Amino acid sequence: MSHQGVAAALSDTATMIDRSVRLARRNLDTLFAAILLPLLMMALFVYVFGGAISTGTQYVNYVVPGILLLTTGYGAASTAMAVADDMNSGMIDRLRSLPIRSISVLTGHVAASVARNALSTAIVVLAALAMGFRPNANVGEWLAAIGLLLLYVVALSWLAAGLGVIARSVESASTMSFFMLFLPYLSSAFVPAETMPTWLQPISKHQPITPVIETVRGFLTGAPVGNNGIRALEWCCGLLVFSVLLATSLYRKRTRR
């Protein structure tokens, strides 16, 4: 690609990012739900279930990393719905008449998703501190935890964008992204995997959510990370590559019709 082509692609991407962020700011009910639901879940587990769950540490310190990943799931689900709305409202047909790179449309939605998730995650962390969350991470460990969460958010947002491309309605996109909200419940987000039934433990231990949670938990609270850090990076990088290729391929296929 020539220098002018690169400049045009970057300009298209910046324009679509600005559009998606503006739409996200106007859609306050979705943003409010993406913040409120994780807060309610955290309050439920800390104040209602926490006293009955033994994790070897103060439960709020154990559960917050899982809530952070649950928060990203809610944010990604809204991305799938936003893409589906564009795909089925005629917006994409109007864009097809303009010299805009196809990947710029999806990149805009992903960037808006990252911005929403950054805001909701910051609010969840502040609420967790008010509930008694006491991380002992240094600056480097905080940066490592934030970097891993960011990588996970970007990968999950691209996957959500792909689901939004093939969804035939906003409601369908919401249903298709349900697994993003459900999968953390089968991980070590809320209870140690060792306390689960024998048949469920392999599912909990060998899925992408658990190593990411365990790594973030280790960085923030000093729990052992072990090989979870490498596994988390492998899962996130693999999911990112797969999701980008899937989303862009599906988008090009659908917009050629």
pTM for the full predicted model: 0.88
Q: Model confidence at 62, in pLDDT bands (50, 70, 90)? A: very high
Model pLDDT for residues 77-102, shown as the tens digit of each residue: 888 888 888 888 777 766 666 666 66
Plot region of 222 (φ>0 → left; ψ -120 to 50 → alpha; else → beta)? left
Plot region of 226 (φ>0 → left; ψ -120 to 50 → alpha; else → beta)? left
More confident residue, 175 or 148: 148
Judge whether residue 224 has pLDDT over 90.
no
Give the pLDDT confidence score for residue 96 in this predicted structure: 64
Give the pLDDT confidence score for residue 152 in this predicted structure: 94
Judge whether residue 72 has pLDDT over 90.
no
User: For residues 103-115, b (16+ Cβ closer than 10 Å) or e, as one string?
Assistant: bbbbbbbbbbbbb
Q: Model confidence at 236, in pLDDT bands (50, 70, 90)? A: very high
Distance CA 224, CA 231 (A): 14
**Chain-centre distance of CA 51, in angstroms?**
28
3-12, 49-58, 167-176: which range is least confident on average?
Answer: 3-12
Give the pLDDT confidence score for residue 100 in this predicted structure: 66
17-26, 63-72, 203-212: which range is least confident on average?
Answer: 17-26
